[in-house]
Structure 1
């Protein structure tokens, strides 16, 4: 029997924020995978090593977690006044699909450096020293991201002393702005609160009636109170991820939230839409010990937030969910704002399993609805490896 030889594809393995993924230039993908469809999905599944019933990704580049099973495709922008288009694919670990329904806020921080290093940003825009502003079109959701990337001696500066909880080593700081982050998934101007309410009631079989703030900002997110599901908001990963009943409960809440938000038309559709919406639980500040052993004092944070991604509690916080947290915290009346003390605010520092994160949002009430002009946070990014990935030539 003849077996197809492996092919090699130019790629870069990068960390962005508290995530990492495989980055491609669109032009470097095999021709069949340069368009959306099964060929592209099958190729990316094989690159990551999915589906893997062992949940290890031993035969691929994935890390068998929602934070490390990610792919990015970057190309010259099709939009006016933008440098690059950025497409994000969340690869399922144990099922054969790639979810294109949302963005990855953490990897957004790596798109600018990748674009600069790979000749996708005009040379006259790149300073020899200073900061390069990269305007990114987030193609999944049709929104603009501005990444401000430090430059030194004509190259992206990656090393530095900026520390990010959830990342072991310090690096150079990259500020990331998400402009007008509230939208529907086609990128049209969507309602920040799809139901029209700051707080809704969800009736979830096996769980009961829950209050929920459901918001479209950064990424569709369903917020509930921690005490409503018998948690206190200081939980680490093991407390949730080792409890199958807890994971099933949160998935039920997520699915019913997706239905209420209009993201799906039937509950069964939630199974093939794992990336969005996210589900998170919030609580007033308490002191706790982060996963690194770092003591987080109640006085250093405004609110506690724990969020699930791809069916598991996240080890830190998804960047897009941080946008949702910052936006909801800025709007009086939401569950996040209530947990943070109920005051109007432009910045919020929240506690997550790995530590803390500060995020800002500029929200306003206009034309009888809440709007947010931008959300901003600091992240970092670093190239881990660059060269080629190899996959069997018949895998796509």
Structure 2
């Protein structure tokens, strides 16, 4: 038991270290940490995470940490065996995954939602880190095997099945799956989101309408794998296939979109007042009809290759690709009489699949529905992931804090879920 008491702490000038991994998941990169390796006092986690990522950084580069100046590259994932499943003696999930988004310039933490791209790395990471039950491992066999891990995202309560190839005790890395926005190919990872609607509000259409009038604009407020607000690009006066760097220069348009996003968030019940709206949720996306356009690689995408074009804003920045959870929500929204459906082409590129054009290329999403009420059953996407390094991550702790003051392996609570609850209750402010 630590005797370290929170007061007005001073940083220790001598660095300490914790173990961690750095992975690419889909079109994102981030640190993956095990909560048992972190300091026992959870109020120290937010400043620790900020140090590790190099925030706050008014220059927007995060040179002092592992971040890279973009919201899609400023992420931390906490991964641990599912304590809830162990308590209940059932396999509701194998792994608990907690997502933390770090503000590049502000250093503020956001635990409002899930990150689907980093989710691509969670199953392979858990397998490599030996966090899964023994039956997952192959007793030294070197044949390629398919493994399916059930992951619980503690931010939303969503369950996701991650299916990937393994060889012996390691996840496979090489393969033929390609992801637009990522150079090269890799081993395929199938992510099946189970009943993904209502991630925050419990409703696919939180306002009760497929189309709402927000600040004089026709928008669709949809809560799928993530809450999202959709607006037609031409309604706001922006080219639907605009490049992210050009979009960043449209400061007045971005300010207007932020106003719409905040007003829509209140209408969706995500916040009582606009000043309480989270940075990362809801996302706001501009949708437009299929068009022939260039993407960041310089490649030309023909109008016949996509069902619609989307540009999302993530944490105030135009996204270089598309948040995976936003892609899933877009596929669900396209099934409804929404502005997304209005923008989609009448004949799909692939039957049963929505092919979304984004700033780096395309992403196909398959959404399956069941029942007369049209309740969604699941949505599936395919991604790749890669371990970049494992090792020591250095930081400055607090004077008086014991060097070995870590949670340890015998925790009896889901630490990630507890941290999310404490953050939402402002217990660290």
Over the aligned positions, Cα root-mean-square deviation in angstroms equals 1.9
Stretch moving more, 72-81 or 307-316: 72-81
| Alpha-carbon distance between aligned partners in 2 of 1:394 and 1:250, rounded to the nearest angstrom | 41
- Tell me by how many angstroms 1:253 deviates: 1.4
One of 394, 402, 420 as aligned partner of 1:390: 394
Which residue does 2:219 correspond to in 1?
212
Residues 1:276 and 2:285 aligned together = no
Residues 1:350 and 2:363 aligned together = no
Which residue does 1:123 correspond to in 2?
134
| Secondary structure of the structure 2 residue equivalent to 1:268 | helix
| Alpha-carbon distance between aligned partners in 1 of 2:260 and 2:29, rounded to the nearest angstrom | 27
Which residue does 2:427 correspond to in 1?
none
- Tell me by how many angstroms 1:247 deviates: 1.9
| Alpha-carbon distance between aligned partners in 2 of 1:64 and 1:178, rounded to the nearest angstrom | 29
Which residue does 1:6 correspond to in 2?
15
Change in 2 beyond 3 A, CA 1:244/1:340: same
- Tell me by how many angstroms 1:2 deviates: 9.1
| Alpha-carbon distance between aligned partners in 1 of 2:261 and 2:283, rounded to the nearest angstrom | 7
| Alpha-carbon distance between aligned partners in 1 of 2:145 and 2:97, rounded to the nearest angstrom | 24
1:201-280 residue pairs with structure 2 within 5 A?
201-203=213-215, 209-270=216-277, 273-280=278-285
| Secondary structure of the structure 1 residue equivalent to 2:190 | strand
| Alpha-carbon distance between aligned partners in 1 of 2:21 and 2:372, rounded to the nearest angstrom | 43
| Alpha-carbon distance between aligned partners in 2 of 1:98 and 1:13, rounded to the nearest angstrom | 19
Q: Which runs of 5+ in 1 are unaligned?
A: 204-208
Residues 1:192 and 2:196 aligned together = no
- Tell me by how many angstroms 1:365 deviates: 6.3
| Alpha-carbon distance between aligned partners in 1 of 2:101 and 2:253, rounded to the nearest angstrom | 23
Contact 1:126-1:132 at 8 Å conserved across structures? no
- Tell me by how many angstroms 1:245 deviates: 1.4
Which residue does 2:114 correspond to in 1?
103
Change in 2 beyond 3 A, CA 1:341/1:24: same
| Alpha-carbon distance between aligned partners in 2 of 1:380 and 1:53, rounded to the nearest angstrom | 32
Contact 2:212-2:220 at 8 Å conserved across structures? yes
Stretch moving more, 116-125 or 218-227: 116-125
Aligned length: 379
1:130-175 alpha-carbon deviations (Å, 9 max, x no partner): 2110100110000101100111244210122211101112111101
| Alpha-carbon distance between aligned partners in 2 of 1:329 and 1:2, rounded to the nearest angstrom | 51
Find the structure with the greater CA-based Rg: 2
Change in 2 beyond 3 A, CA 1:124/1:249: same
Change in 2 beyond 3 A, CA 1:2/1:242: closer
| Alpha-carbon distance between aligned partners in 2 of 1:343 and 1:30, rounded to the nearest angstrom | 54
Which residue does 1:206 correspond to in 2?
none
Change in 2 beyond 3 A, CA 1:32/1:287: same
1:316-355 residue pairs with structure 2 within 5 A?
316-331=321-336, 333-341=337-345, 346-355=352-361
Contact 1:327-1:363 at 8 Å conserved across structures? no
- Tell me by how many angstroms 1:268 deviates: 1.1
Residues 1:20 and 2:29 aligned together = yes
| Secondary structure of the structure 2 residue equivalent to 1:218 | coil
TM-score of the aligned structures, taking structure 1 as reference length: 0.92
Contact 2:11-2:397 at 8 Å conserved across structures? no
Stretch moving more, 282-291 or 336-345: 336-345
Contact 1:70-1:88 at 8 Å conserved across structures? yes
| Alpha-carbon distance between aligned partners in 2 of 1:221 and 1:259, rounded to the nearest angstrom | 12
| Alpha-carbon distance between aligned partners in 2 of 1:126 and 1:360, rounded to the nearest angstrom | 30
1:331-363 alpha-carbon deviations (Å, 9 max, x no partner): 3x1111121135797310011000011001123
